[in-house]
Chains A and B, each alone.
Chain A
């Protein structure tokens, strides 16, 4: 168990809908990262938050947004969902920013039908 909790584990929704994925980082970790992993694909960086503020942005679609709350949990919001958004979404957390061990949650498997 990495200590990073992601909910829900599975999500099935229709095209055009909006969903929210939740991540609780390890206790004491200030940095949260979101990654997308499509079938048989690598891990694509979406966005990073550090202590409540956005720190870095990757290839995140405009339909997607995220935030980190004062209690350091983070949410990834995906809207106007398309079939191609079906993927595993992982959250990782680390104590600080770069150069520190990052631990991943078990992921949320999103299926858009």
Chain B
């Protein structure tokens, strides 16, 4: 089955700086890669996703890149703000037979004011 590894497990950055979280996946059949943000006491919230036919996607301060050959994908947050502090999860899924989202272990991001 799919295995997703996520690094780092914790990340502290100064407000205004950029944060990068990296994930690798094992199943070459995976073709959908979402990122979720989870705040304390809440459910995971989808913040951005990318499909295997796209190399990069951007939404305001958030961007995701995908390297299918290397089976790597990354989340980039620019101009970080205190409200970006949360746990971020990457995930991977594919088509029939591999539909479930397999999650990474999460990154606790802390923005230092």
Contact = CB atoms under 8 A, between A and B. Distances in A.
- Binding site secondary structure of chain B: loop
Interface residues of A, number: 25
Given A31-B99, A56-B99, A99 B106 contact: no
A2 B101 contact: no
- Which of B42, B43, B106 gathers most chain A CB within 10 Å? B43
Given A33-B101, A42-B89, A98-B96, A106 B42 contact: yes
Interface of A: 2, 4, 31, 33, 42-43, 45, 48, 50, 55-56, 58, 90, 92, 97-107
A48 B43 contact: no
B34 A98 contact: no
Interface string B82-113: 00000001000111111111111110000000
Given A2-B43, A42-B89, 9 more contacts: A43-B89, A43-B101, A45-B103, A48-B100, A98-B94, A98-B98, A98-B99, A104-B44, A104-B45
A98 B96 CA distance: 6
A58 B43 contact: no
Contacts of B100: 33, 45, 48, 56, 58, 98
B46 A42 contact: no
B32 A99 contact: yes
Q: Which 4 A-B pairs have the closest CB atoms?
A: A98-B99, A97-B99, A104-B43, A99-B32
B111 to A, nearest CB: 20
A50 B99 CA distance: 10
A93 to B, nearest CB: 12
B68 interface: no
A99 to B, nearest CB: 4
A42 B108 CA distance: 11
B46 A103 contact: yes
A45 B100 CA distance: 7
